[in-house]
Every structure is written in C-alpha cells, then in structure tokens.
Structure 1
Amino acid sequence: MKLLVPLYVHPGVDPAAWEALAAAAPRLHGVVLNAADGPGPRPDPAFTAAAERLRGAGVTLFGYVDTGYGRRPPRAVAADVRRHRRWYGVDGVFYDQAAAHPALLPRYRRLLIVARALGARTAVLNPGTHPDPGYAELADLLVTFEGSWESYTHVTVPPWTRAHPPERFCHLVHGVPPEHARAVARTAGGRGAGVHCAVPGRGANPWRHVPWTLREAS
C-alpha cells in the first residue's frame, strides 16, 4: 500500500510535517502541493523550498487544482496547472472537486489533455466518490472515497472497479482514531484500492496533518 498525502498546511507553520514526508519518500505514491487552494497568486518561497526538498528525496508532487465539479472555466484550470509547473516543478496534477456524472466526461478528458500538454506526467481525479466508470479510463489515479472514518465504514464498492488494478484507486480518510489507523490500509486493500491516506484531522481542513502511520514512525 502506498500513501497519497494531501498536506494542506504551510511549511512555515509545520516544518516537521514536511520533513516527515521527505523522510518517508519510499512509502509515498506522492504529495499534493496546495499553496492557496491552488498555486496561489504568486510563488511562495517556503513552498518552493519544500517542493525542492521533496523532489530531491524522490517524491512525486501533484499540484492541487480545483475544477469546481466541472463548472470552473477551463482557462482558469489550465492557468493553475501552468503555475504549479512553473513555480513548484510538480510532476502531475491533482484535480479536486471532480465531477462524477457521465455527461461531464468530455470536459474532463479535455482538462487532462491540457494538463499533460503542459507537462503534467501523471493525473489524479478526485470526485471523492465512485463516479461513472468512464472516469477510470481518464485518470492515472482515481480517488473514489474522501470523507470521514465514520462514513468510510459504510462504503460499498461497485462491481466495475474489479476490472481495474488496485493501484488505479485511492481512498482518503480523515477523522481516523489512532486505534483504527492501520485498519484503513487493510480496508482500502480489501475494497480494491492500492493507495490511501488516513489522518486524524477533522473540521474545515482535516488535511493539515501527516498520516497516522508517518506520525508513528517519527
């Protein structure tokens, strides 16, 4: 099992969290870089330094881009991808708030074509739920769950996921009690997801913490 870590905390606020990610490089599928709900209006030197440290450790970086469930203008989405690539040298893109409805498949196909044309080698789509099966054909990694531990215990997995290898799916779980941290990895694997993240955080930004398994190792 690999970890995809969306660490949404400034390196100046919690430098130890970023150090923990660099130290855990072999265990990571990648890290989502999110300076200000995207790349922000200008380069942030602290994020530039953190990105350089992670790249030097061999970590794949994904630039966070909000797609507004398909409502955000494609030009604005492309501009964020371009800034992430230019300012932070990210390897790929993390398209958050992705749509799940089949009617928007052509729009997301175009967004991914543009991202790859701008140099993003890998792409993650995050609808946070199981979308129409067509989305699994577009992304390198599909986040089919994002939510609380309480919700995660009741998730059902549609049969179509079995047609794809586990490394194509990711589960992001927050509000995880320490005694259940390792259960997330086992549960994700049992549900056909080879990538996951389990954090203790709750509230508006639960992703300001490193995963439980990295906290235990530190």
Structure 2
Amino acid sequence: MTGVSHADGRLLVPLYVHPAVDPAAWQAVAAAEPGRIAAVVLNLADGPGEAPDNVFAEAAEKLRAVGLPLLGYADTDYGRRPHSAVVADILTYRQRHGITGVYLDQVATHPGALAHYRRLATAARAAGCGTVVFGHGDHPDPGYAEVGLADLLVTFEGDWEAYRSMTLPLWTGRHAAARFCHLVYDVPAELAREAAALIAARRAGVGCAVPGAGENPWRTLPYGLTAAELT
C-alpha cells in the first residue's frame, strides 16, 4: 500500500474544517508526529470546490511540506454520481494540491456496484493517486476487499455508542488489519484510550476517534494526534 500505514495504530485525519475558520487545527496536524498520521483527508466543499481557494491551498501545502500524505475527498453518492464527475474532482485536487491519494466517500456496499468502483479505482490510479480509500461507513460485500480496488476500506463511520455494539463479519479476518479503518465520533475525552484500544482490538490498523458530534463531527481534531494524549 502506498501512502497509508502498513502498521497498526495510525490516524486517518478527516480535516473537514477550513483553515480560515480554525487555523489552530491545521497547525496542530502539521506539528504532529508524522509517524502517527497515515494520511490527511482534504475536503473544501464536499469536494475540491468550484474555484481555487488560496488560503486552503497554502494550508494544504504546509501539510504536504512536512511529508503528510494528502487524500482528496470525493463524494460518490453510493454509485449514483457519474464516473466523470468523480474523476474531475480527483484531477482538480491533483492540480491544485498535489494529492497522493483519494478518499472516495459514500461508497456502496452491495456487489452490484463493484464494476463501477473498479473503474473509479483504476481511473484514480491512472490520475496519479497511489492510495485509494473507499469510505463505505459499514462493512461492504467481501468483493470490495479484492486486490486492485481500494488500499483501505472504511468499514465503520458512526458515533461511539454505535461503535461499541458493532460486530465484525468473519470475512474481515482473511485480510490484514492495515486494510481497514474505523472512524468514530462523539467519543468522550475520558474514553479516548478505550476507543483507541477497541479500534485496535477490532483489527482496524488505521482509525480516528474525535470528540465532535452533530452535522460535521470531523471539524474536531482526533485523539492521539500526539503520543502524549493517550499515555
């Protein structure tokens, strides 16, 4: 896998807040121990935005300059968004921000959409993306884990209470932990260590737990951004 952790316990950081709104959040990510971060997901407006944004571009460049892999967020609307529109987002990110990978969100889970996502993954790699992430938010059909599609599958995205009751399908045991990511929000600060331990126990080699809730919980920084937070 290129650009995303081969080792357990690293963070995928959905940095879904504009640097003009929360510059401290972007500075904290740039100052974090690089070895703790698998990748940072850039998301200006549920995609790259219609027009270039200099403030956003400068902040993204600072992350790239310290060696953090950058993934561009592109919504696929569970297979309903046209292939060409998704690819256009990827190309725009590549041009404006030099991304090394793509985070395809709202990815379908049923086997009938596999051919569509296989084409998208192929197009993303042809566009220069070394890393392809499928943001299912739930466990998909096992076919989505086949070689040549995504490097990383986000098989959980939800709140802490839902995560505590989530169960793993047996097929996930046939794949390395580094293939899976769990994104958990609304995690109380006093349970941050428990959340990190549960993500690891469920064999998600990459993860993220944040305190945020509501419409955009990813406006808050993840626990564990620095080693001291979980010691």
Q: Which amino acid aligns with 1:212?
A: Y
Q: Give the paired residue count.
A: 218
Which runs of no fewer than 5 residues in structure 1 stay unpaired?
A: none
Counterpart pick for 1:42 among 29, 34, 51: 51
* In 1: Cα distance, 2:205 partner to 2:71 partner: 18
Asked if the contact 2:11/2:225 (under 8 Å) is kept, the reply is no
Query: Which one has more relative contact order, counting CA pairs under 8 Å at least 6 apart?
Result: 2
Q: What is aligned with 2:85?
A: 76
Aligned residue number for residue 3 of structure 1: 11
2:224 is paired with a residue whose SS is helix
Counterpart for residue 142 of structure 1: 153
Alignment of 1:55-204 (within 5 A): 55-137=64-146, 138-204=149-215
Give CA-to-partner distance per residue, 1:56-101, whole Å, 9 cap, x none: 1110000000000000011100100000100111110000000000
Match of residue 23 from structure 2: 15
Report the 3-state secondary structure (helix = DSSP H, G, I; strand = E; otherwise coil) of the residue aligned with 2:68: coil
**Does the aligned pair in 2 maintain the 1:47–1:88 contact within 8 Å?**
no
* Rounded Cα–Cα distance in structure 2 between residues aligned with 1:217 and 1:21: 15
Unaligned runs of 5+ in 2: 1-8
Structure 1 match to 2:3 = none
The 1:204/1:153 distance shift into structure 2, 3 A limit, reads: same
Q: CA RMSD in A?
A: 1.2
Shift of 1:214: 2.8
Query: What pairs with 1:16-35 in structure 2 (closer than 5 Å)?
Result: 16-24=24-32, 25-35=34-44
